[in-house]
Amino acid sequence: MTSPTESELPSIFRCPISFEIMENPVTIATGITYDLQSIEKWLFTYKKTTCPATMQPLHNFDLIPNHTLKNLILSWRTQSLLSKPKPSLSSSFSSKHLELTSILAAMDSSPFKVNSLKKLRSFAADNPLVFLSSNGVEALCRILKQSNTDFSDEFVPFRACEEALGVLKNLPFDNHDASIGLLSKPDSVNPMLTILQRGSAEARLDAITILKRISKANPSITSQFHQDIDVFKSLLDLLSDEVSAKLSTSSLDLLLQAVATSKANRLKAIEAGAVCVLIELLPDEAGRQRRDKTLLLLKRLCECAEGRLAFADHRMGIAAVASKIGRDHDLGTKLGVKVLWLVCSFLPRKEVVEGMMACGAVKKLFGLIHVDGQSSTKEKALSMVRMHNDAWRQNPCFPIELRAVRY
């Protein structure tokens, strides 16, 4: 293979002003592309108001970056540098880089992005590191940004955004700072939140998966969720989904991350009805891990006065949590007792105290205070018994076997 030389430089890579290879190609209003430094000098140093190549008058002086041409120039240079015999790994990388650049160029030049994005999904799955190191994520973020401006009435941009998320989910960007930075921008996050609310089941799962991964590296992402209550309503709808367990579990994980980052998020989740949803889900949570996550989310919400009020107002709240209390060292028991302690301590309404007796929670608390050893769970159980013992003992439903119990 003959090494490309300067004489073989494609003419479209040369700036029409300097005739040198373009470093930062930009396109002006007439559609002609120039190197940024040359056209800036023409327009702003020499005060010209016409296109250098066509001499047409310019009605605006916008300089639009030509990403496609820049990538093609980069590919040409890469091919030039790697044309000499080198290790097969470099040769393979160069080949894949050129293949990716070709797909990106085709995508940028067409208003219909979906077919190219499907090719990108396959490419990214097989060559994730090439994709990350060749501005692939930047190209996908441009799709997200462009789609976000056209969501209102256009189906095609919406599908392109869904497909772009399908590409992103397969990429190992978690430790790639440049990618995290691009994906953390509002122009990238907002389209993901739109897909979360309105996308297909697969696209919603992709959006949640990506948001979870971004927020681990940049917690500020989820801290802004409170600005749109529909985000929480959508996550709660998906949490209750009986068709896709994976989608439901992923929604629960993202909710946990969101409420952990800010009180504003907790309040917005409560306003969206999270406490009621969690209470109604608890009786059916048979798996220990899922049960514990549900109780953890409920506990975090009940750390707010608004959450405790919503809990106390729900007729199933006490019974649902009490049903998950068992052994002292079980995480579900620890979380369940913490929820009851928060409500009993800060909102000890008559119906709450009587409800604990009616559903068997009191008997479980007495059992916990006689467990050997010390624990925060035992201390909270003892605190509740001391707080409401007199009221419970006057209740005709108070277990006879507990009347002689001392603590």
The position carrying tokens 């907790």 is: 266
Among 115-124, 298-307, 322-331, 357-366, where is mean pLDDT lowest? 322-331
Q: Looking at residue 86, what is its pLDDT?
A: 47
Number of structural domains in the chain:
1
Q: How far apart are CA 50 and CA 42, in angstroms?
A: 9
What pLDDT, on a 0 to 100 scale, did the predictor assign at position 314?
95
Looking at the domain assignment, is residue 118 inside a domain? no
Q: Tell me what the mean pLDDT of segment 343-364 comes to.
A: 91
C-alpha distance from residue 93 to each of 130, 393, 405 (Å): 7, 77, 75
- The pLDDT of residue 329: 73
pLDDT at 83: 56
- Asked, for residue 323, whether it belongs to a domain, the answer is no
Q: Check pLDDT > 80 for residue 248.
A: yes
More confident residue, 401 or 333: 333
C-alpha distances out from residue 294 to 67, 102, 232, 315, Å: 46, 47, 15, 18
Across the range 352-368, mean pLDDT stands at 91
Output the pLDDT for position 398: 78
pLDDT band at 152 (very low <50, low <70, confident <90, very high): low
How many beta carbons lie within 10 A of that of residue 95, not counting itself?
14
Tens of pLDDT, residue by residue over 90-146, are 566 778 888 898 888 888 888 788 888 999 999 999 999 889 888 899 999 999 988
> Could you tell me the pLDDT band of residue 156, with boundaries at 50, 70 and 90?
confident
Q: Is the pLDDT of residue 265 over 50?
A: yes
Portion of the chain with pLDDT greater than 70, in percent:
91
Highest mean pLDDT among 153-162, 171-180, 366-375: 171-180
Q: Considering the entire predicted model, what is its pTM?
A: 0.74
E strand or H helix at 233, and its extent? helix 229-239
For 28-115, strand residue ranges (E) read: 33-35, 64-65
* φ/ψ of residue 134, rounded to 5: -120, 30
pLDDT over 50 at 87, yes or no: no
Q: Tell me what pLDDT residue 112 has.
A: 81
The two structure tokens encoding residue 321: 């949590």
Q: Which residues contact 50 (CB under 8 A, 6 or more apart)?
A: 56, 57, 58
The string of pLDDT tens digits covering residues 191-239 is 999 999 999 999 999 999 999 999 988 888 998 899 999 999 999 999 9
Residue 170 three-state SS: coil
Whether residue 372 lies inside any domain: the answer is: no
Mean pLDDT of the chain: 87
pLDDT of residue 250 exceeding 90: yes
Statement: residue 254 has pLDDT above 50: yes
| pLDDT tens digits, 22-69 | 989 999 998 899 999 889 888 888 888 888 888 888 888 889 999 888
The number of C-alpha atoms within 13 Å of 77 and in the hemisphere containing its C-beta is 10
Q: Average pLDDT in the 274-280 region?
A: 97
pLDDT reported for residue 48: 86
Nearest 5°: CA angle at 240, between 280 and 299? 55
CA distance 125 to 117: 12
Checking if the pLDDT of 151 tops 60, the result is no
Instruction: Please say if the pLDDT value at position 1 is more than 70.
Output: no
User: What does the pLDDT read at residue 4?
Assistant: 46
Which long-range contacts link 198-201 to residues 24+ away (Cβ below 8 Å)?
A: 198/158, 199/158, 199/162, 200/162, 201/243, 201/244, 201/247
The residue segments making up the domain with residue 16 are 1-85
Say what percent of the chain tops pLDDT 90. Answer: 51
The residues, any chain, with a CB within 8 Å of residue 214's CB and separated by 6 or more, are 180, 183, 184, 189, 221
Predicted local distance difference test score (pLDDT) of residue 377: 92
Looking at the domain assignment, is residue 332 inside a domain?
Answer: no
Whole-angstrom distance, CA of residue 209 vs CA of residue 206: 5
When computed from its CA atoms, the radius of gyration of the chain, rounded to whole angstroms, is 30
> Is 51 a domain residue?
yes
Q: How far apart are CA 64 and CA 389, in angstroms?
A: 74
Amino acid making up residue 146: Q
Q: Measured between alpha carbons, how far is 254 from 235 in angstroms, rounded to an integer?
A: 8
pLDDT at residue 325, as a whole number: 92
Find the mean pLDDT for residues 267-273.
97
pLDDT value for 2? 38
Tell me if 43 is assigned to some domain. yes
Q: SS3 of 144, please?
A: helix
- Tell me whether residue 101 is in a domain: no
Q: Mind listing the pLDDT tens digit for each residue in 322-335? A: 999 987 678 999 99
Would you state the pLDDT for residue 16?
85
Asked if 294 contacts 259 with a C-beta cutoff of 8 angstroms, the reply is: no
Please state, in angstroms and as integers, the Cα–Cα distance from residue 5 to each residue in 105, 128, 145, 347, following that order.
Answer: 23, 31, 38, 80
pLDDT at 369 over 90: no
Q: Which CATH number belongs to the domain containing residue 72 in this structure?
A: 3.30.40.10
The pair of three-digit structure tokens given for residue 57, joined into one six-digit string: 């008058």
Tokens at 46, concatenated: 């020499």
**CA–CA distance, 362 with 280 (Å, rounded to integer):** 21
Angle between the N-to-C axes of helices 288-302 and 331-346, in degrees from 0 to 180, rounded to the nearest 10: 20
In angstroms, the CA 209 to CA 137 distance is 16
Q: 207 in a domain, yes or no?
A: no
